[in-house]
């Protein structure tokens, strides 16, 4: 699912060659381990076995490295939204007919939802895959608190994502596919709280695959734990 190059884990023969993505992978891991503020370009150079100028060849500043990392998580999350999702200046989400039918179909007996509910299911499923595929990038995004312009821009993009998912829930409530006794904003926060919490315990290679985890999240969020 990802386009991360194998250079992310450089071999030990001689000085490893890092491309932009490999450098980013190491920077993200270091930001998570030590904290962004406590990590300097010199720290990264030391960790990478590169000169500072070699890093500056790829990124003009530490904040631009952070920005690129947050963009990677946000780009992937936004790609999970339906193609005709509402934009900042468009009311598309409240007009389900404006959406084309979901292009992606699942091979695992997806729930019989349709329209907005079906698109919501796709978004939740994709968001779990993004989280698992880019675990450190999403982890970093979730730690952002808005201390710099770069962080504030990332938080604004994240809020726009949340608004689009909320609009999808609202649309599915209007069409009668989802229950109407839950505030769509609260429902969105609770469901993405559930999804985001996966970064706390998920470890790649564990017994839980991204696919079954996505199934579990969709099942819980849409139909709940109670036996039918």
Positions in the binding site for its own copies (CB under 8 A): 111, 113, 117, 169, 176-183, 186-187, 189-198, 200-201, 208, 213, 216-217, 219-228
User: Roughly what angle, to the nearest 10 degrees, separates helices 62-79 and 135-143?
Assistant: 110
Q: Which is nearer to its own copies, 13 or 145 (CB)?
A: 145
User: Token pair for residue 39?
Assistant: 């990590």
> What is the smallest separation between the CB atom of 204 and its own copies, expressed in angstroms?
16
Query: Which residue lies nearer to its own copies by CB, 45 or 111?
Result: 111
Q: Judged by CB, which is closer to its own copies: 14, or 201?
A: 201
Which residue, 20 or 174, is less far from its own copies as judged by CB?
Answer: 174
Nearest one of 22, 29, 28 to 8, comparing CA atoms? 22
The C-alpha atoms of residue 153 and residue 118 are separated, in whole angstroms, by: 30
Query: What's the min distance (Å) between Cβ of 115 and its own copies?
Result: 12
Coil, strand or helix at 157: helix
Give Cβ neighbours of residue 198 (< 8 Å, ≥ 6 apart).
128, 131, 132, 213, 217
Could you tell me the smallest distance in angstroms from the CB atom of residue 128 to its own copies? 10
Report which DSSP code applies to 38: T
Contacts for 153 with CB less than 8 Å, ≥ 6 apart: 67
Instruction: Pick between residue 14 and residue 206 the one whose CB is nearest to its own copies.
Output: 206
**What is the nearest approach in angstroms of its own copies to the Cβ of residue 201?**
6
Return the structure tokens found at 42.
């010199």
What minimum distance in Å lies between the beta carbon of 178 and its own copies? 5
């Amino acid at each position: 699912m990802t386009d991360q190059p194998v250079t992310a884990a450089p071999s030990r023969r001689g000085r490893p060659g890092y491309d932009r993505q490999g450098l980013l992978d190491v920077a993200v891991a270091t930001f998570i381990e030590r904290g962004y503020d406590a990590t300097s370009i010199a720290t990264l150079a030391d960790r990478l076995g590169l000169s500072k100028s070699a890093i500056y060849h790829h990124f003009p500043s530490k904040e631009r490295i952070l920005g690129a990392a947050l963009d990677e998580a946000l780009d992937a999350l936004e790609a999970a939204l339906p193609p005709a999702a509402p934009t900042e200046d468009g009311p598309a989400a409240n007009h389900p007919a404006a959406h084309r039918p979901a292009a992606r179909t699942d091979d695992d007996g997806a729930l019989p939802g349709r329209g907005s509910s079906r698109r919501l299911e796709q978004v939740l499923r994709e968001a779990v895959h993004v989280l698992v595929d880019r675990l450190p990038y999403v982890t970093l995004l979730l730690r952002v608190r808005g201390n710099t312009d770069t962080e504030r821009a990332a938080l604004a993009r994240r809020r726009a994502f949340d608004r689009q998912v909320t609009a999808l829930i609202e649309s599915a409530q209007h069409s009668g596919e989802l229950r109407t006794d839950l505030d769509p904003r609260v429902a969105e926060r609770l469901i993405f709280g559930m999804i985001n919490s996966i970064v706390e315990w998920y470890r790649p290679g564990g017994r839980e695959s991204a696919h079954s985890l996505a199934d579990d999240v969709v099942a819980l969020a849409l139909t709940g734990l109670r036996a039918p």
